[in-house]
Structure 1
Amino acid sequence: MQPAARERIYSIDLLRGLIMVIMALDHVRDFFHHVGGMASDPTNLATTTPILFFTRFITHYCAPTFLFLSGVSAFLSGQRKTKKEQSGFLLKRGIWLLFVEIFLITFAIAFNPDWSFVLLQVIWAIGWSMIVLAVLIWLPLPVIGIIGLLLVLCHDTLDGVQLQQGSVQDALLKITLTASGFGINWHNHFILVAYAILPWTGIMLIGYTIGSLYKPSFNAAQRKKILLGIGIAALMLFVVLRSINQYGDPSHWSVQKNGLFTFLSFINVSKYPPSLLYACITLGPSIIFLALTEKATGKLVNILSVYGRVPFFYYVCHFYLIRLFCIISFYLQGFGSADIHSQPFTFLPPAGGYNLFVVYLIWLFLVAVLYLPCRWFDRYKQNHREKWWLSYL
C-alpha cells in the first residue's frame, strides 16, 4: 500500500494541547488543594464553592475530548496503513497503554513500590478502547459510527441494573459499563477501576468515524459546517434531555439555594461512567472548537500545539513532576519521615495542602516547566520519523 501524504491537522493539535494543559489543573488540585482534593468531591453542591466547582468542571472536558481525538488520530494514521497493519498497531498500542497505566502512572500517583494500590483511569480506558477498535476497524465505517453512538446514547439504560453481588457477571457489567468506581481485592493488592470501559470506547469510535472528515480530499468548508452542526446538536440534546430531567444522567438536577447553584446543579453531570449528558456537554463545545480553529494562528496557538503533539510524553512527565512537587511541599510544610503515609498515597499529610490561588500558581508553574522538554521531544519526533517506537509514545 502506497502511504498517503502526511498532513498535520493543526486544529487537532491545538485542541489536544489545550485539554492537556487544563487536565494538569485537575491533577494539581487533587494533590495540593486542602479542600476538595482527593478526600472530597469538588462538585458536591453541599460543600463546594463556585470557583472550586468550575475548577473541577472545566477539567471534565479533558478525558472525553482526548478519547475523541484519539479516535480521530487513529483514523488518520490508518490512512497510511493497510487494515491489517492498523489493526495490529492498535492492538499493540492498547496493550502497551494498559502496561503504562498499571506500572508507570499508578506508581507516579501512589508512589508505592509494592503496587498495593492500582488505579485504572483514562489511559486504561484508552488502551481497552484501542483494543476494541483494533477488532472493529474491519467493519464498514458507518457501522463503527453506529456502534459508538449506541454505546454513548444507550448505556445509561443499564444504570439501575443489579446483578448478584460478587458474581463474575456483576463484576464484568461494572467494569465494562456501569461502575462509578469498582474495587477489586487481589492478593494484597487493591485495584480501583475508575473508568468503565465501553462508554469511553463509544466516544473513541465516534471520533474515529468523524476522522473521515479530515481526509485530504474532503472539502474544508463542508467539514466546518458538519462539525458545527454536530457540536450544536450535542448541546441542544443536552439542554432538552437535562430539562426533561429523566434520562441521560443518573443524577437529576434540582432547585438550589440560589440561581447560581441551581445552574451548577443543572450542569453537574456524571463522569463515572460518562453519562450521555456528560458526553454532550463536553464533546459539543470541543467539536465546535475544532470547527472554528482550523485556521487559527498566533504564538499561543503554537505553544499549546507543542503540548498537543506530544500528549503521551506530557501526560507521563506531568504526573512525575507533580509527585516531585509533592515531596518538596511535604518537607517544606514541616513534616518528616515519620509522617509519610504509605496507604495508598505517600507524602500527602491529612492536614496539608494550599488554597486554590496557590494551586493555580503550582499548575501554571508545572505547565511552564514542561514546555521546553515537550518542545524538545516534539522536534525529536519530527526529525526521527523512521524510529518505529516513537509511534507508541
Structure 2
Amino acid sequence: MNRITTIDVTRGLVMVIMALDHVRDLLHTPALTQNPTDLATTTPAIFLTRWITHLCAPTFVFLSGVSAYLSLRKRNSPAARRFLLKRGLVLIVLELTVINFAFWFDIQFRSLMLQVIFAIGGGLMMLSLLARLPVRWVAGIGFGIVLLHNLLPFAPFANPVGSFVWSLLFRTNVFVVSPELTVLVGYPLIPWLGIMLLGFAAGRLFEQPATSRRPLLWQLGLGALGLFLALRFLNLYGDPAPWSVQKNGLLTVLSFLNVSKYPPSLLYTAVTIGLALLILAAADGASNALTRLLTVYGQVPMFYYLIHWYLVHLSMLAMSFAQGYTWADVPSGPLNFGRPEGAGISLGGVYGVWLALVAVLYPLCRWYGRYKAAHPELTWLRYL
C-alpha cells in the first residue's frame, strides 16, 4: 500500500504544480510574448515559476514507466501487454481530440499540439513490445537514449514527410501543413521514451521493503543531481544551451539552471528525475494531511489533466470578459489560445487563480476516485 501511496503522492504534487504553469501560460499578461526562461527579458520570479514546473512532464513519464512495470510484475502476459498498447492508443486519441480542443477551443481543429499525453501514449505502445525483454535490457536502452539522443542532428531530411517523421521521433518542430492547419510536435517520442524506460526499470525498487527502498531512492536521486552538477559545471556536454556568467550572481545561477526541455536534454532529465526520486523518497511511508490531499489528485491523473485544462481555458475567457473584452475581441486561428491582445493578470494573480483552481479540482477528483474504486466492473474507467 505504501508503494502505491508513495507514487500517488509524488504524482499528485507534480499535478498541482503543473496547473500553475498552464494558468501562467494562458492568463499571465506577458506570457504570449515573453519566453519565461529568456534571461534577457524575464525576471527571477517568472523564471522560477516556469522552472519548477519542469519537474512535471518527466515525472509523469517516469512514473508511467513505474506503473507499467508494477502492472506487469505479476502477469507479464500477452493480454497485459495488449492493455498497455490499447491504453497508449487511447491516450493518443484523447490528445488529438478532447485535449487539443481544451487547448484551443477551436471546433475546426486548425491546431494540433502533440504534448505529454502523446508522448506517454506512444511510449506505452512501444513499451508493450519492449516489456518482453529482461528489465536490465530495458534499463540499458533507456540510459542509452537519455545519454545520447542529443547527438542527433536537428533535421537531416529535406523531404517534408521525412522531416515530420524525424520530428515525431526525435526533435521538437512546427509544421504549417496549410493556412488552416498547424502541427506542433512538442514532445518527440524517443527522448521521452528513454525516461519512461528508466521508470520501468526503477519499478523494481517498489518491489522491495520500504526500509531498503527508501535509502536507494535517496541515493539514486542524489546521484542524478550530482551528475547534473558535474556535467553542467564542465559545460561541455549534456545540454545544447551552455550556461554563462551574467550581469549578477542570481542571473548566473539561473543561467546554470536553464536546461533544455524541447527535447529533454541529458541535464534536464538528470535534474528533474533526480528531484522526483528525492520526492519519492521523502513521500515513502509518509502519512499526514498533505500526503492525503495529494493522493486524491494522484489517484486520478488523467481525469485531473482533462478537467484542469478546460477550467484553465474557461478562466482565461472569464478573465478577458471581466476586463471588458467581448467575443469580437477573441482572436482565432492556428496556435492561438484565444486571449484578446492586452488581456491578462499579474504573476500574483496567476498564483491566486492557480490555488482556486486546484481547490475546485479537489472535490471533483475525490468524487471520481471513489466512483472509479466502487465500479471495477466498468473496465473503460481503467483508461481514465
TM bucket (normalised to shorter chain) is: over 0.9
* Mapping 1:319-358, distance limit 5 Å: 319-344=309-334, 345-358=336-349
- Pairwise CA distance, 1:381: 1.4
The residue number in structure 1 matching 2:190 is 198
* Separation in 2, partners of 1:129, 1:93: 10
Q: Which residue identity does 1:101 align to in structure 2?
A: E
- Kindly provide the amino acid, as one letter, of the partner of residue 366 in structure 2: R
Question: Which residue is equivalent to 1:263?
Answer: 253
Tell whether 2:136 aligns with 1:142.
Answer: yes
Q: Number of paired residues?
A: 383
The separation in 1 between residues aligned to 2:25 and 2:158, in whole angstroms, is: 31
1:338, CA displacement in angstroms? 1.5
2:311 counterpart of 1:316: no
Contact 1:32–1:359 (CA under 8 A) maintained in structure 2: yes
State the 1:231 CA deviation: 0.9
Per the normalisation by structure 1, the TM-score is 0.94
- Give the Cα–Cα distance (whole angstroms) in 1 for the partners of residues 74 and 101 of structure 2: 35
Structure 1 contact 94–127 (Cα < 8 Å) conserved: yes
- Alpha-carbon distance, 1:164 to partner: 3.5
Tell me the CA shift for residue 44 of structure 1.
Answer: 0.3
CA contact (8 A) 1:175 1:182 kept: no
**Residues 254-281 of structure 1, C-alpha deviations (whole Å, 9 max, x = no match):** 0001000000000100000000000011
Q: Distance in 1 between matches of 2:73 and 2:376?
A: 16
User: Distance between the aligned counterparts of 1:334 and 1:168, measured in 2?
Assistant: 44
Kindly indicate whether the alpha-carbon contact (under 8 Å) linking 1:152 and 1:203 is maintained by their aligned counterparts in 2: yes
8 Å CA contact retained: 1:34, 1:354: yes
Counterpart Cα distance in 2 of 1:186 and 1:225: 54
2:376 partner amino acid? R
Paired letter, 1:244: L
SS at match of 2:56: helix
Within 5 A, what are the aligned runs for 1:20-39? 20-35=15-30, 37-39=31-33
**Alpha-carbon distance change, 155 to 67 in structure 1, aligned in 2, over 3 angstroms:** same
2:230 is the counterpart of 1:235: no
Cα displacement (A) at 1:129 = 0.4
Letter in 2 for 1:173: W
Q: What residue is the counterpart of 1:223 in the other structure?
A: 213
Displacement of 1:171: 2.9
| Correspondence 1:60-71 to 2 at 5 A | 60-71=54-65
Partner secondary structure for residue 112 of structure 1: coil
Map 1:1-393; keep pairs closer than 5 Å.
Answer: 9-35=4-30, 37-158=31-152, 160=153, 162-179=155-172, 181-185=173-177, 188-215=180-207, 218-344=208-334, 345-393=336-384
RMSD of aligned Cα (Å): 1.5
Give unpaired runs (5+ residues) of structure 1. Answer: 1-5
Q: Indicate conservation of the 8 Å contact 2:239/2:265, yes or no.
A: yes
What displacement does 1:80 show? Answer: 4.5
User: What letter matches 2:303 in structure 1?
Assistant: F
TM-score, normalization by structure 2:
0.96
> Is the 1:83–1:137 Cα contact (8 Å) retained in structure 2?
no
1:178 is paired with a residue of what secondary structure? coil
Q: Secondary structure, in 3 states, of the residue corresponding to 2:170?
A: helix
**Higher mean Cα deviation, 292-301 or 58-67?**
292-301
Deviations 1:183-204 (A, max 9, x none): 2415832111111111101101
CA distance in 1 between partners of 2:296 and 2:3 (Å): 13
Question: What fraction of aligned residue pairs are identical, expressed as a percent?
Answer: 46
How far apart, CA to CA, are the structure 2 residues paired with 1:53 and 1:187? Answer: 33
Give CA deviations for 1:67-99 in whole Å, capped at 9, x if unaligned.
001111111112343421221011111111111
Name which of structure 1's ranges 87-96 and 218-227 shifts more when overlaid on structure 2: 218-227
**Higher mean C-alpha displacement, 322-331 vs 105-114:** 322-331
Is the Cα–Cα contact under 8 Å of residues 13 and 309 in structure 1 kept in the other structure?
yes
In structure 1, distance between residues paired with 2:167 and 2:366: 40
The range that moved more, 38-47 or 244-253, is: 38-47
Q: 1:162 to 1:371 in 2, by over 3 A?
A: closer
**Counterpart contact for 1:83–1:138, Cα < 8 Å:** no
Specify the alignment match of 1:3 in structure 2: none
Structure 2 residue runs of 5 or longer lacking an equivalent are none
Q: Which moved more, 1:289-298 or 1:263-272?
A: 289-298
2: CA distance between counterparts of 1:59 and 1:134? 29
Q: Which amino acid in 2 is paired with 1:155? A: H
